[in-house]
């Protein structure tokens, strides 16, 4: 009997590319149309502002869903999508509404402004092409299942100078290292205990209540930290009308995300060890939210929550692979390769962010050029 042909078995790269183009035809059409709209919108600042915002609203939430909502989606597959949407969407509306009222029109919890009222990410009087297409680049990388940093990619193109970028990078990398170490120690030292009590697939219904509370807290914290990545296109102090569009656009965008069950980027979470177990998902989210709250209150500098999340799941995967009593090193190599791949993709996102920032901002371009000259 002849072996059934499978597209991904093809050994000729150009045929695989043709397959990709065929399967992603609708997505590619959307991207091409988006680029054309972005190019034409830069002649009108107000139009460009809203185009960039609408692109960012879905691109940022879709990419960051793996960290803030990924484990929640994965462990609640049995629940109806609209129930999950109303829960998470309701938390979003409450969180941004509080910031809008308390901070006089600012929905970012002052992530984009300094205490003296200045901003390292000023709202431009005229938008550049690279600023408007930044969310489309993020959308493409997300479609390729790359867990890139939304903070790096979107905020970098608005940074007034390199200090805004370097401060975000430093805070994010320190967050990754801290998250990796803490997650590794927690799962390595408690692996036998966790394995003993989580051995059975059955669990108490209390776990679901705990997970929803933890996930809701995590989501609210993410909105406080990363809402700036979307709102960066809009005025730092919004009117009631602007806020209504901002809040409702993201609210319905979340509905689409839950309807698609996280879309393709969800694979980054799904491939990790037993993340679909609601108890494991809750422990991941709990350690993540504690770190985010800590980082949230020690500094108002924006931070890549993607890097913190990669540190959390990276430390966990390595700890589990080292704690298992399986013979051989196959599972250890698999975990190392998985974490290396995620880290590599995140670095790609960082380099793309710097390229976009330099392309759209002459001040940043000159500073980078000057720094390279000083090295030699």
Q: In tens digits, what is the pLDDT along the chain, a chain of 376 residues?
A: 444 444 444 444 444 556 666 777 888 898 999 999 999 999 999 999 999 999 998 887 777 666 678 778 877 888 899 999 999 999 999 999 999 999 999 999 988 887 777 787 889 889 989 899 989 988 888 777 776 777 778 888 887 666 666 777 777 788 888 888 988 888 888 877 777 766 665 666 788 888 899 889 989 988 998 889 899 999 999 999 999 999 999 999 899 888 887 765 545 554 554 555 677 777 777 887 787 777 666 666 677 777 888 888 888 888 888 887 666 677 677 778 878 887 887 788 777 777 877 776 676 777 777 767 776 6
Predicted pLDDT at 5: 42
Task: Report which of 147, 142, 170, 149 is spatially closest to residue 357, judged by C-alpha positions.
Answer: 149
Task: Report which of 215, 245, 260 is spatially closest to residue 62, judged by C-alpha positions.
Answer: 260
Are the CB atoms for 63 and 222 separated by under 8 Å? Answer: no
The pair of structure tokens assigned to 41 is 């919108």
User: Assign residue 124 a region: left if phi > 0, alpha if psi is -120 to 50, beta otherwise?
Assistant: beta
For residue range 53-82, what is the model confidence (pLDDT) as tens digits? 999 988 877 776 666 787 788 778 888 999
Predicted pLDDT at 319: 86
**Block residue for tokens 């656009």:** 249
Rg of the chain in Å (alpha carbons): 21
What total number of domains does the chain contain?
1
HSE-CB of 348 using CA atoms within 13 angstroms: 16
Residue 154 lies in a domain: yes
Residues in the chain: 376
Rounded Cα gap, residues 27 and 15, in angstroms: 19
Residue 258 lies in a domain: yes
Is the C-alpha dihedral spanning 250, 252, 258, 262 positive or negative? negative
Residue 316 lies in a domain: yes
Residue 2 lies in a domain: no
The pair of structure tokens assigned to 105 is 């029109």
How far, rounded to the nearest angstrom, does the alpha carbon of residue 203 sit from its chain's CA centroid? 30
Rounded Cα gap, residues 133 and 61, in angstroms: 16
Rounded Cα gap, residues 357 and 35, in angstroms: 17
Taking residue 19's Cβ as centre, other Cβ atoms within 10 Å add up to 13
Helix (H, G, I), strand (E, B) or coil at 310: helix
Rounded Cα gap, residues 263 and 142, in angstroms: 9
Q: Is 199 exposed, middle or buried (0-12, 13-18, 19+ CB in 10 A)?
A: exposed
Predicted pLDDT at 273: 46
Predicted pLDDT at 328: 65
Residue 376 lies in a domain: no
Residue 45 lies in a domain: yes
Could you give the C-alpha distances from 77 to 53, 157, 171, 276, in angstroms and in order?
30, 37, 34, 9
Q: In the chain, count of helices (H) and strands (E)?
A: 17, 0
Rounded Cα gap, residues 291 and 285, in angstroms: 10
Predicted pLDDT at 305: 77
Predicted pLDDT at 43: 92
Are the CB atoms for 318 and 337 separated by under 8 Å? Answer: no
Residue 9 lies in a domain: no
Q: Which domain holds residue 57?
A: 17-369
Predicted pLDDT at 164: 62
Residue 3 lies in a domain: no
């Amino acid at each position: 009997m002849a072996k059934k042909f499978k597209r991904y078995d093809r050994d000729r790269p150009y045929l695989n590319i043709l397959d990709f183009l065929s399967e992603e035809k609708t997505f590619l059409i959307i991207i091409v149309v988006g680029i054309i709209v972005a190019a034409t919108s830069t002649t009108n600042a107000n139009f460009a502002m809203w185009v960039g915002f609408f692109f960012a609203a879905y691109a940022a939430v879709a990419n960051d869903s793996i960290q803030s909502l990924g484990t929640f989606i994965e462990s609640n597959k049995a629940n109806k999508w609209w129930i999950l949407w109303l829960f998470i969407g309701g938390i979003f509306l409450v969180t941004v509404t509080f910031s809008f009222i308390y901070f006089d029109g600012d929905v970012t919890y002052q992530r984009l402004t300094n205490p003296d009222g200045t901003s390292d990410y000023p709202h431009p009087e005229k938008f550049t092409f690279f600023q408007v297409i930044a969310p489309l680049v993020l959308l493409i990388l997300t479609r390729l299942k790359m867990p890139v940093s939304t903070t790096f990619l979107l905020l970098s193109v608005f940074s007034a100078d390199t200090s805004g970028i370097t401060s975000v990078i430093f805070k994010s990398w320190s967050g990754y290292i801290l998250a990796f170490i803490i997650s590794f120690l927690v799962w390595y030292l408690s692996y036998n205990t966790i394995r003993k009590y989580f051995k059975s697939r059955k669990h108490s219904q209390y776990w679901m209540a705990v997970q929803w509370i933890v996930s809701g807290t995590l989501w609210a914290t993410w909105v406080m930290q990363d809402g700036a990545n979307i709102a960066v296109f809009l005025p730092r102090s919004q009117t009631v009308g602007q806020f209504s569009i901002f809040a409702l656009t993201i609210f319905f965008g979340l509905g689409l995300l839950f309807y698609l069950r996280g879309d393709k980027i969800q694979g980054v979470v799904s491939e990790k060890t037993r993340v679909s177990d609601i108890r494991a998902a809750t422990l991941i989210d709990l350690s993540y939210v504690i770190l985010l709250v800590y980082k949230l209150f020690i500094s108002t500098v924006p931070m890549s929550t993607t890097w913190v999340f990669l540190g959390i799941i990276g430390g966990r995967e390595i700890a589990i692979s080292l704690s298992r009593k399986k013979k051989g090193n196959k599972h250890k190599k698999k975990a190392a390769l998985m974490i290396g791949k995620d880290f590599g993709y995140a670095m790609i996102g960082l380099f793309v962010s710097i390229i976009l920032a330099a392309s759209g901002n002459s001040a940043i371009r000159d500073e980078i050029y000057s720094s390279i000259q000083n090295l030699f």
